A and B are shown apart, each in its own frame.
Chain A
Amino acid sequence: MSDSASPAPYIDLRRIGKRFVKSLDVAARIARHLGSSVREEVVHAVDEVDLAIRPGEVVGLVGESGCGKSTLGRMVAGILEPSEGSYFYKGRDIRTLDAPEARDMALRIQMIFQDPFASLNPRLRVKDIIGEAPRVHGLVGRANVDAYVDDVMLRCGLDPEFKRRYPHQFSGGQRQRIGIARALAVNPDLIVCDEAVAALDVSIQAQILNLFMRLREELGLTYLFISHDLGVVEHISDRIVIMYLGRVVESGPTEDLFDSPNHPYTQALLQEVPRLDQRHAKFSAIKGEIPSPLDPPPGCHFHPRCPHATARCAEERPILREIAPGRRSACHLNEGAV
């Protein structure tokens, strides 16, 4: 996804993959020894995905549950180790970074989680939740922590008066602000937002989205914005990446992609987003369910649900190709002679 005309990517993931293996228990191992055909269960949560994010860009990562978007986000944030592929941070393979550089990278890439109730330690006061990391990492002296925390809280729309409170004393929207403040406290460049507004009420969601956009302007932040909500992603992103069952099916600039979706999955997805201006709609519904990632269909993962599927789609995996400048899609239909 690296265009020649644009600046060097901040992070660049190449053919990155993540497998989760459920290993066999004792009974199953004995059974296999005795000739049973039990196998380890392998989920290919992320399968050869390329993702590059340039400085200052907001990339929206969209997909339905089980498509691997959170796993990919966690790999970007360094919480999960990729099982295959390579990860370049500012042009350098992260496997070649020494310890101080790796720590610097860990601080520069922060994450905000979906559930503002589960992601804050209930036994810490807000000032410790926000102030601990910058103090430990020596970003701010012990004497200045208080003023520093006040500053970060104000920036996130929180009243510093409340910094001695515990998380349970805040509402969901305010907690999400605490999560944002915690991420911002270590001066990150890139923030991975994993469904960061999904648990919030509409009016609160708008407040938090506005906060994200304001912070981006003030601090020059880069976001990887993961969401299942196309409306939210469309609103905030410059570029959109769409995943289905562990693979990227389409990517491109937001406006192009929404104006002329190329991949049949994208088309179906966009058609089914409920919109305010669409009244008395006839919901038509794409057929079928999302297959289990334990046993994905061969060839193109989407072919059992695709209205245009051909024999080739069931056999050969389509490659993500450039279909227009900045646009990529993984569909056999783009090759004309199908």
Chain B
Amino acid sequence: MTGGGLTLAVENLRTHFFTRAGVVRAVDDVSFSVDRGQVLGLVGESGSGKTVTGFSVIGLVDPPGRVVDGRILFNGRDLAALPEAEWRKLRGAKIAMIFQDPMMTLNPVLRIETQMVEAVLAHENIGREEARKRARDALGQVGIPSPDERLRAYPHQFSGGMRQRVAIATAFINRPDLVIADEPTTALDVTIQAQILHEAQKLCRDTGTALIWITHDLTVVAGLADHICVMYAGRVVEAGEIDAVLDRPLHPYTSGLIGSVPSRNKRGRELDQIPGMTPSLLNMPSGCAFRARCGHADAACDSAPGITAPMPARAIRCHHPLLEPAV
């Protein structure tokens, strides 16, 4: 995944939370990269560290959490030790984020116009009228009808799907190089989700923005992403091109996740469930974190597996990759 178009390269990122109950290794040695105009799907279940990874990349990890190690190379520049003043120039201008709940991210007492214009004026020295024009165009781009009127509205006057569009329009308004979307469609209905995916896909294609789409839903990533990173207990367990990973998963966890998705060719049959549940990050087992739930685990799994690349453009963290085609 290297090349001239590399937007973001995260190397050996570790974000830990220093709580009274102990150190939580929410992100533990995570590496991935995203090219210009590409979509990376960051998939994991709750507690896998996918959201904290996103927050680390945009510098929003709050105490007691801290990025303790690793590099975040954004357009070649390391962000890991960036002072807050520098972050402010970057955030919203070059890197933007879309959150899960648009009701929480829009200010309920300000008009949409005020919030969007503020986002423009914070980073650019242009007139208010011009900023307003840009906000209107951005709303139009995400398919909001009569954007001129809608700019004057308050967030509560929008439906959930419309609010998420406003959030997306705001994220893309300064033409960022990278947008991080954290489960932006999880709270939405199917038809509205499809609309949002459509807008996000279009914007990335048109603007060359790289997109990190964080989700627990493999089916959304299957349709949207170019590359996929599967996270488990703070680590990337498998990464690669979307088709390669979904058609032929090498890690038992990825394979289990795919088997867990109900779909029509499995109708009425028992799903291949993964037994047990995600271990607590406070109390991680030694060795491979997936060991206790894995059907292939043996004595070798007592030591933590490193990253290997059994195939080109694939990375996997497992002692027993499923190299035999698993059907």
Contacts and interface: CB of A to CB of B under 8 A. Distances in A.
Interface string A200-214: 011111110110011
Nearest to A58: B268
B296 interface: no
Contacts of B162: 289
Nearest to B246: A276
Interface stretch (A6-14, A47-55, A76-84, A229-237): A229-237
A228 interface: yes
Interface string A266-284: 0011001111111111111
B20 interface: no
A281 B223 contact: yes
A173 B243 CA distance: 30
B228 to A, nearest CB: 11
Given A207-B274, A213-B268, A274-B194, 15 more contacts: A201-B278, A202-B217, A203-B256, A203-B257, A231-B263, A235-B266, A255-B267, A258-B264, A269-B190, A275-B263, A276-B222, A277-B263, A279-B223, A280-B226, A290-B191
Interface residues on B, range: 35 or more
B201 A206 contact: no
Nearest to A172: B46
Contacts of A228: 189-190
Interface string B185-211: 000011111110110010000000000
Given A203-B260, A213-B270, A274-B217, A269 B224 contact: no
Contacts of B46: 201
State the majority secondary structure of interface residues on B: helix
A285 B191 contact: yes
Interface string B145-169: 0000000000000010110000000
B144 to A, nearest CB: 11
B271 interface: yes
A139 interface: no
Interface of A: 64-65, 171, 173, 201-207, 209-210, 213-214, 228, 230-232, 234-236, 254-255, 258, 268-269, 272-286, 289-290
B65 interface: no
A202 B260 contact: yes
B126 to A, nearest CB: 32
Interface in B234-253: 242-243, 246
Contacts of A202: 45, 216-218, 257, 260-261
Contact of A289 (B192, B198, B242, B275): B192
Contacts of B257: 202-203
A203 B275 CA distance: 8
A285 to B, nearest CB: 4
Contacts of A65: 189
B274 A273 contact: no
Given A274-B217, A275-B263, A280-B223, A207 B273 contact: yes
19 contacts: A65-B189, A173-B277, A201-B216, A202-B45, A202-B217, A202-B257, A202-B261, A206-B260, A206-B272, A206-B273, A207-B273, A213-B268, A231-B262, A232-B262, A274-B193, A282-B201, A283-B195, A285-B198, A290-B192
Given A171-B277, A272-B190, A205 B263 contact: no
B220 A274 contact: yes
Contacts of B218: 202, 276
A210 B273 contact: yes
B105 to A, nearest CB: 20
Given A236-B262, A276-B222, A279-B246, A289 B161 contact: yes
